[in-house]
Structure 1
Amino acid sequence: MEKTRVLFVSQEIYPFVKENELSKISRILPEKVSNDGKDVRVFMPRYGCINERRYNLHEVIRLSGINVIIDNNDHLLIIKVARMPNTNIQVYFIDNQEFFQRKFIFRDDKKNFFQDNSTRAIFFARSVAESIKKLGWSPNVIVLHGWMSALLAPMVKYVFSKHPLFSESKVVLALHNDQFEEKLSDDTVDKLIFDDLTSDLFPNLLKDTNYINLMKDSLMHSDAAIIMNENINSDILQITKTLSIPVVDMSNEEDLLNNFNDFIDDLVAEELFS
Structure 2
Amino acid sequence: MNILFVSSEVAPLAKTGGLADVCGALPLELARLGHQVAVIMPAYRQVKQGNFALEPLNVKFDIPIGNKIVRGRLLKTTLPGSSPENEVPVFFVEQDEYFDRPELYRAKGEDYKDNCERFVFFCRGALESIRLLKLDVDVVHCHDWQTGLIPAYLNLEYLHAAGYENIATLLTIHNLAYQGIFWHWDMLLTGLDWKYFNLHQMEFYGKLNLLKTGIVFAECLTTVSERYAQEIQTDPLGCGLEGVLAQRSEVLSGVVNGVDYSIWNPAIDPHIAKQYDVSNWQEGKAACKAALQREMGLPERSDVPLIALVGRLADQKGWDLVAQVMRRWVHDASAQWVILGTGEPHYHQMLEELSRSFRDKVAVSLQFSDPLAHRIEAGADMFLMPSRYEPCGLNQLYSLKYGAVPVVRATGGLADTVIDANHAHLSQGVATGFSFESYDVDALASALGRASMMYHHEPENWKKVVECGMKQDWSWGASAREYVSLYADAIRRKREQREQLLG
Asked whether the two chains share a fold, i.e. TM above 0.5, the reply is yes
Shift of 1:240: 2.0
* Structure 2 match to 1:222: 218
Q: Pick from 109, 112, 124 the counterpart of residue 110 of structure 2.
A: 112
Higher deviation after alignment, 115-124 or 136-145:
136-145
Task: Find 1:26's aligned residue among 15, 18, 23.
Answer: 23
Query: Secondary structure of 1:91's partner?
Result: strand
The DSSP-based 3-state class of the residue aligned with 1:264 is helix
Instruction: Give the root-mean-square deviation of aligned CA atoms.
Output: 2.5
Alignment of 1:1-274 (within 5 A): 4-18=1-15, 20-52=17-49, 54-61=51-58, 63-64=59-60, 66-87=61-82, 88-108=87-107, 110-177=108-175, 179-180=177-178, 183-193=181-191, 197-204=192-199, 205-206=202-203, 207-209=205-207, 213-229=209-225, 230=228, 233-235=237-239, 236-243=241-248, 246-251=251-256, 253=258, 254=474, 256-269=479-492
- CA change 1:178–1:106 in 2 (3 A) is farther
For the 8 Å contact 1:11–1:148, the answer to whether it is kept is yes
Residue 266 of structure 2 is matched in structure 1 by none
Tell me how far apart the structure 2 counterparts of residues 142 and 93 of structure 1 sit (CA, whole Å): 16
Q: Which moved more, 1:252-261 or 1:51-60?
A: 252-261
User: 1:32-67, CA deviations, whole angstroms, 9 ceiling, x for partnerless residues?
Assistant: 221222111110111112245511112111x22x22
| Larger helix share, 1 or 2 | 2
CA distance in 1, matches of 2:154, 2:105: 24
Per the TM alignment, residue 262 of structure 1 is displaced from its structure 2 partner at its CA by 2.4
Gaps in structure 1 of 5+ consecutive residues: none
Deviations 1:180-209 (A, max 9, x none): 48842442111112xxx3122232444433
Q: Which amino acid aligns with 1:24?
A: D
CA 1:243–1:84 in 2, change beyond 3 Å: closer, same or farther?
same
Q: Calculate percent identity across the aligned residue pairs.
A: 20
Three-state SS of the structure 1 residue aligned to 2:147 is helix
* SS of residue in 1 equivalent to 2:28: helix
Judge conservation of contact 2:146–2:210 (CA < 8 Å) in 1. Answer: no
What is the CA–CA distance in structure 2 between the aligned matches of 1:92 and 1:249, rounded to whole Å? 28
Alpha-carbon distance change, 221 to 267 in structure 1, aligned in 2, over 3 angstroms: closer
SS of the aligned residue for 2:91 comes to strand
* Ranges in structure 2 where 5+ consecutive residues have no aligned partner: 259-473, 497-503
Report the Cα offset of residue 245 of structure 1. 5.3
Q: How many residues align?
A: 262
Residue identity matched to 1:265 = A
Offset of residue 30 of structure 1: 1.0
Given residue 207 of structure 2, which amino acid in structure 1 is its aligned partner?
Answer: T
Name the aligned partner's letter for residue 222 of structure 2: I
Mapped contact 1:223–1:245 kept (Cα < 8 A): no
Classify the secondary structure of the residue corresponding to 1:54.
coil
Structure with higher Rg: it is 2
